[in-house]
Structure 1
């Protein structure tokens, strides 16, 4: 089945971000990347803001699909330990510059932040209480380390060996389950 024009546009916008950064996302740049007219992009997205929010939804949907595939089920069907294991595994191999840029946008854009929260809250521990028990502490540390691993992969030119990644994943998974 052929992807919809809307999906083609979003994929093109992600490529623009990957090449030139989020500030380069415009109707003209996305249309050129998608091989469409500006009017064709405007038909699907009436404003740049609408296109950016759709990009956030699209990117988080991709994350959710990877999380579900890795976990072997939907978040509501799984234990927190299993959800965290999937989160750790996906974070260890899915970091892209585009994901990082979109996630950074959530710092100053509450609407974008809410889109990410809807997905990430299903896969990570709840807001921790003021004082953590041992299990909660291990789960939060595992999440923070997985986030750090993701950021490391997205922002450095160094790549961990597959064996090193697997060792880290194993350790964090044990922490998340204890």
Structure 2
């Protein structure tokens, strides 16, 4: 139990380092210092910076999956495609921290960092393995809604904008209006 909490503390410290100084500030030394542990203690859990970043992505993806379950009230197997899509839009539009956003942008740079995200996504949307030309109308509308949520997230990140609850709901309902 203590080891898992130590690992989570190190991941939280990494998120804080990146929140404060960007990805360039991330090093094993800065994370150990932020977490209040020795570098050796950090290396016990994460032997390399790459392993630390992988651990951050695994935890962030797991938290996103929890948000999907909370938003739908179901596991992916129990929810309909529309419920899963509505949950995705809701979860995607919830504002991650600046540190989380910076890590998410980095995920595309490394297959190992992207993998936990893809596992979650494919559990929730296995139909997306079907070529777009073969999707049913409902599947296509759901895909467009998820892509819109991702685009909104990217827009908000790029512009530094934030959404209050009322505007988050307005944007979400607009994205989902065709479902």
TM-score range, shorter chain: 0.7 to 0.9
For 1:1-178, what aligned pairs fall within 5 Å after superposition?
A: 4-124=5-125, 126-131=128-133, 132-175=135-178, 177=179
Secondary structure in 1 matching 2:129: coil
Runs of 4+ in 1 over 4 A off after TM superposition: none
Contact 2:57 2:107 in 1 (8 A): no
How far has the Cα of 1:167 moved from its partner? 2.3
Quote the Cα distance in structure 2 between the aligned partners of 1:55 and 1:162.
Answer: 27
Number of matched residues? 176
Q: CA deviation at 1:85?
A: 0.5
Name whichever of 11-20 and 135-144 sits farther off: 135-144
Runs of 5+ in structure 1 lacking a partner? none
TM-score by length of 1: 0.87
Deviates more, 1:98-107 or 1:127-136: 127-136
Task: Report the alpha carbon displacement of residue 10 of structure 1 after superposing the two structures with TM.
Answer: 0.6
Distance 2:150 2:17 in 1: 25
Relative to the length of structure 2, the TM-score reads 0.86
Q: Is the partner of 1:108 in helix, strand or coil?
A: coil
Superposed CA offset, 1:110-141 (max 9, x none): 11111210012233451352425432331121
Contact 2:10 2:32 in 1 (8 A): yes
Q: Is the 8 A contact 1:92 1:153 kept in 2?
A: no
Question: Aligned-pair RMSD on alpha carbons?
Answer: 2.1
Q: Give the gaps of 5 or more residues in structure 2.
A: none
- Contact kept, 8 Å, 2:18 with 2:25, in 1: the verdict is yes
